[in-house]
Structure 1
């Protein structure tokens, strides 16, 4: 699979009507458990008219999609006949029921309802994985490790409403001189069983068992996971447990106004380091491990100063191996659009 990068242009800029324009604009969508992000691709490498709509404001995905297409500056571009949607959910067959939101739909019914000739729907981290080879240096920040090994597998994970996991595996035996080709993994690795790495995490896990029969990595490495870690630590430390949501926990932790909230961030980063290291050794990801999602980029330098990297390398006899594997935080604003555009390019019928 050979894909081409897409440059995201200023969303306030009207697409040019020139010879590079497609016969009709193509919808690009990135659907998470909290927000639905939409854009139009009007030609190879040209995407804009980006809008972010709250999922909770719409009863169905079709409603949100129609609301976007009905915006005057979007509708003025012309009818949309083709589209690709990345969604935070496994895609098995035609019917999709979101894990972290109430939306559910038939892909074929959605295509007909919105008047598309063709519609591709893929897992959001599958789409994000497709974007990784095309990220500019300015769209990622390295946190530890050495240089990536060209042509080696690449790992990907990211915490937001849930914990997404994917990766890229290079194609073998390509003709000399051809561009690298990649296979993106359709993974649901965020739902692996959580494994504690120290006594504090054992206590947090025991607290979580009071609420959940199965505690996955996603139970902690997500927005609701930050809240669960906070409740567990506040209970463990014997302090008052306030009704704090994830943004407030993060704000207080970064501001240094709450000792427990600061510890929540540190524990979260350590847990993420262990899971990222597990992914690296599982895939042999000497091409690097990338961190996406909505939480880590907001932590800024606090993430780089955390125990993440030490925990990433904490694999006993494989510590030396992992010390060479680079880890990156994705800082691009809309990287999934690059991935869904690549998927459109790979489907001539779309």
Structure 2
């Protein structure tokens, strides 16, 4: 294989695979190695199905080989050990020498990253809109609520009978409960306290908090990357973020199912319109019922919940806290496989 071709292919952002006539892997460029999390040294001579198992791709390859024509495939979904589910447009080109098939070239143009950026922009726009709306509404509620509670306290001192004072006590307690609800809707206003933390210690704390009420047939499993370095974050707020994600997962599985705590590191990741050298990818995965289609677009809005007994504030607050750390929460959900992903930049320790 010519050195010039290798140099050009390795400089491309597009993943490139070259297959032999028998459709075994002959070459992978650097982008393909990163995409699949494997090197050409390990994959050379192996059938292409070791990387791409999708039947429809096999059909496209066979058609390209038979007709000696370029074939394309739009929005192929496939799974990699490195990035999970990937969406790409694929172009298959037969390489001919004197009219005879010499090799088959596969080009993979990732489109899921652009889709993710679009989704991220939508989530951030939703967050800013809801925060502004909710905080304005909370301010308007607090003033008359304080007056209502104060009037009930004054009335309580004037009432002669304990039976009548019981009613004012109810008014005061319900006003206090509403005050707590308004504060939760507004989100935490306390400053972020940065300290060096180990993310797995945070997850272990959350596990202990929820383990008391877990049904016997619900299993919590761990899939950790032990190489993740310590990071700068507010430990209490990070616990609150993860706890909200885990509680939702436990509600989704009910009395029987599995919840997985998974951690990975992503390198050179674009988030919030900035390239981060290292990003924590923390996933809470459950095999529960999934998120109803009708609320998927507004799952991070306040007062939106898929649970009959939920307040719909947990994910809204978690998203606000993640944003305060320059991070983001994303999700994918189908019945039997729901993944909430917390993405946080890993800042160097001071």
Q: Same fold (TM over 0.5)?
A: no
The structure where helix makes up a greater share of residues is 2
Query: Larger C-alpha radius of gyration, 1 or 2?
Result: 2
Q: Which has the higher contact order (CA 8 A, sep 6+)?
A: 1
TM-score, length-scaled by structure 1:
0.25
The structure where strand makes up a greater share of residues is 2
